[in-house]
Amino acid sequence: NPEVVERTIETKGQNLLDGLKNMLADLGKGQLTHTSEGAFEVGRNLAMTPGKVVKRTPLYELIQYTPTTERVLATPLVIFPPWINRFYILDLTPEKSFIRWAVEQGITVFMVSWKSADASMKDVIWDDYVAAQVDAIDTIRDVLDVPSVHTIGYCVAGTTLAATLALLAARGKADKVASATFFTAQVDFAQAGELQNFVTEEQLALIGALSPQGFLDGRYMTA
């Protein structure tokens, strides 16, 4: 790489020493980092849209964001982010915030913040996430006294949302959800495409070996 060679000559090799230092620091932490520690902080330059926690359970917290407009859409929106992402995946910065944009359009937004996986969650199963989505929907309907909510399911939480909708329909309560939008969510697994490269018997066995406490350490996912 001619740019690396040029930089090495300019710095008399200091760039290589800096790179080695960063690599050893990452090895010590057991994960690959792209920014320095403390570069981002919730409330300072992440998740800056004002909100409040209106419900807390062992599996999730429900955050409410109030519209900034005089006129407000009658039906609120609840967002279910991926289980493995922080709630601020859609509220990164004011310039990159779907939540901020939504409240500026007069939408009352609710965001689910999932508990980060640890050994205490080894017995949590798929059904628990479906039940949590139903609970969040019912909570919002009660808090705002509305008949239904709009929903967004992101990634695996979108897959869960599809199951939640099926469950509500089977119970004759499909009208609790006015609409459902899916972000990068797979629902039909009959033709799973590239996903099949990661769900072979060998891959599943490896995941099982790496998660003896019942959860997969996030450092393996970033490797």
Provide the annotated active-site residues: 155
Distance separating alpha carbons of residues 220 and 218, to the nearest angstrom = 5
Q: Taking a C-beta distance cutoff of 8 angstroms, is the pair 150, 123 a contact?
A: no
Judged on CB neighbours under 10 Å (0-12, 13-18, 19+), 221 is exposed
Distances (CA, A) of 23 to 17, 34, 161: 10, 11, 40
Amino acid (one-letter) located at 96: K
* Residue appearing with tokens 């922080």: 86
